[in-house]
Chain A
């Protein structure tokens, strides 16, 4: 039973999220501005916070900064601002993830689950690492020996080609691979106009491991250059 703080000045949004989260079996605590949120965190044992950015009295960015002084509970920002600068600011100030309004309820649920899994099962990673032949980045764990991939603890089914591509990217986090390079390394054949295939496979992988495939967290598309695995410790 996790306690989730929902903080938004729009009461309808709070109650809608309340319905979704309650139906998933979470307990929710509503708050309608930043100060209420801070008080609620003090009074309750909160496991995750959904926080709007633009609120009266104390906005989401400031509230996040204040919260980060004392606790490391996951914070997902809900924001109508979609500019990159705002996202970067939110993440830098200490938020763990963000969802832009108008959001898809399913996406919010997925992100909530993802954050909660990572927050509550931190020990799981250490076991996997001990086994060796295990690659990981953020919530992705790839066990080369068992040929299994989990995302935030959830097993993911990948085809062998997809598995090989993901393994290649995980072996070199942060390095950009062009489609031709990926093709040559995974298929062991020279690439002659077969790059589209790689792009299609990568899209499939993204759809399987990312919550929002068009705004990926792990496998980033570097347009015009290739793909890379984001380096997340």
Chain B
């Protein structure tokens, strides 16, 4: 949203543009005038102060110096060489009063005797711009002094090689030297005021014009006005009464670099043309009709120049205000095209390259690497750079691969919640690695959730069983107690007594069952804490047999034990080991055929201690060993015998909980349970 004021009025803008053009053109003409008359503009003297006049005088004075030099040479040596003579004549020719307005007199400084002049003593009668100088020539200034060590004297000679004499002291020259010629010439010179000869002096006087200093002030004022107007135009640019934001006109939509080239080119041409025409008219056709034509042409060119300048400034300002200065350029469009082309090429390459098999990619990648090697091999500097870049890429790849390996190891090693960090792999070379890592992460999280789900469900199961058992125990207590009380009642009815017996038996079984159930669920979910100790297995077997002695005898079974000579030890929770043996022996008592033997062997072999319990089943074992380990499965399908069917399951769970292995073998009626633990010292 921009403020609406007089700056968006078209009339104001047009007026300002016209004014800038007018001011600009006038100022340029003014500056040309000032430039041409710069010498005289601030001076108070006449034409003899003009630079052209000074130049002419310097030239003439230089010719005079040449002539005097040769005059001295003639005096010193008596003659001139051929070339010197030519130069001397040339100087004389130039200094001839018929050819120059320059006048001079040269006198002996001591006597005042006139030696040389333009045209006699009256040379300087009508002269203006009079000046004077003293010139001295001394032959003693160019002498050679050599010391002769044989004779111990100084030998003097001039620069022509002529020996002049000898002296014993270098500070005291011989007489011949002191007699050498020397002159001091007083030179006076000026310019004939009548300027009868057409030479540089006359041209200087003719070309001399006195600049009016007022023109300079007006020009400066115009320039200032132009600057102010230009700033005003910059402010106006882009504003329009009908729009609330800065707007662009047709020329502002031309790409800026193209626009700038055209504008600057046109402006430079116009300006140069204008200056050229002006100077041409002023120099050669001043006051002539053709000169006027040239001035008009120059004015037109300057007008065009200032139109271009004003348009360019306003367009630039409008572009800056709408932030399109750099956006709307040919270069930018070109780069945009190149970028899009590059991106498209990249996409094409990625899709093409990415769709190839790994083998092809490796081959093509290697070939590209070879090409790069060959190409960079042409320049020795690029070899380490290129190979370094390739090595860097390979190292990056290797690091990514390492991260994946470590992550995989962690997932496999029991931490499926591990997430491999793929943020470093988001580069073209590592795309396969990234896909691999992401798949592994998915796999890990799937395993993790499965494991968690399973753990949760197992825990819930164990909790449920524990809670249910607890809830069962309270009513069960009452049942047992009241059955017991019933038994104590004096009941004559034999059938009723029989029923009470059944109730008693079954309530006892229920009690056993609830206890086993809690234990089985705890053991199998691993919520049971173990307290591992060094356990003597032989001792344990003896104790177990001691506990079961009477029960075995009562069941008509004969125990046969084979224990190692030396005690063997395992590391486990003693109470759990006892429970395992308790369950196995209990099984024997319950299911073994009366009158058979029960074998309890302890064998230490190959770093393991194996306890095996063997018995002959009373019932036919028509189920496989694996199934016997299932909960609630018993050897007799009819389930008439006592036991919960959890004994073997508990034994196995407890064995595994303590780091052992549990195995069942059924061979006909021969039942064999094998418990094995690693032996410790």
Interface positions of A (Cβ within 8 A of B): 10, 12-13, 16-17, 19-20, 54, 80-82, 101-106, 178-179, 193, 195-203, 221-226
Contacts and interface: CB of A to CB of B under 8 A. Distances in A.
A16 B481 CA distance: 6
A82 B478 contact: no
Given A13-B478, A101-B473, A225-B539, A82 B515 contact: yes
Contacts of B507: 102
B289 interface: no
B542 interface: yes
B680 to A, nearest CB: 12
Interface string B545-566: 1110110000000000101000
Contacts of A221: 543, 578
B547 A103 contact: no
21 contacts: A10-B475, A13-B474, A16-B478, A16-B481, A16-B485, A101-B476, A102-B514, A103-B477, A104-B484, A178-B539, A179-B546, A196-B545, A196-B561, A203-B546, A203-B549, A221-B578, A223-B540, A223-B574, A224-B537, A224-B543, A225-B536
Contacts of A81: 470
B536 A178 contact: yes
A196 B518 contact: no
A80 B470 contact: yes
A179 B539 contact: yes
A15 to B, nearest CB: 9
B618 to A, nearest CB: 24
A197 B416 CA distance: 53
Nearest to B481: A16
A63 B254 CA distance: 97
Tell me which of B480, B518, B535, B539 has the highest count of chain A C-beta atoms within 10 A of its own C-beta: B539
Contacts of B511: 102
A199 B537 contact: no
Interface string B395-431: 0000000000000000000000000000000000000
B144 to A, nearest CB: 130
A27 B537 CA distance: 50
Given A196-B561, A202-B546, A19 B540 contact: no
Q: When A and B form their complex, which 4 residue pairs have the shortest distance between CB atoms, in order from nearest?
A: A199-B546, A224-B535, A223-B574, A195-B542
Interface in B486-531: 507, 511, 514-515, 518
Contacts of A104: 480, 484
A81 B469 CA distance: 10
A80 to B, nearest CB: 4
B560 to A, nearest CB: 11
Contacts of B563: 193
Contacts of B577: 223-224
B294 to A, nearest CB: 120
Contact of B482 (A16, A196, A197): A16
Given A203-B549, A222-B574, A223-B535, A102 B470 contact: no
Contacts of B549: 196, 199-200, 203
A197 B533 CA distance: 25
A17 B480 CA distance: 12
Interface of B: 470, 473-482, 484-485, 507, 511, 514-515, 518, 533, 535-540, 542-547, 549-550, 561, 563, 574-575, 577-578
A80 B485 contact: no
Given A10-B474, A10-B478, A16-B485, A223 B546 contact: no
A13 B473 contact: no
Given A196-B542, A226-B539, A13 B533 contact: no
Nearest to B518: A82
A207 to B, nearest CB: 10
B352 to A, nearest CB: 68
Given A16-B482, A225-B536, A198 B546 contact: yes
B476 A102 contact: yes
Contacts of B482: 12, 16
Contact of B473 (A80, A105, A198, A200): A80
A179 B546 CA distance: 10
B546 A196 contact: yes
Contacts of B545: 196, 199
A225 B480 contact: no
Contacts of A102: 473, 476-477, 479-480, 507, 511, 514
Contacts of B538: 195
Contacts of B470: 54, 80-81
B314 to A, nearest CB: 93
A178 B538 CA distance: 11
A105 B481 contact: yes
B539 A105 contact: no
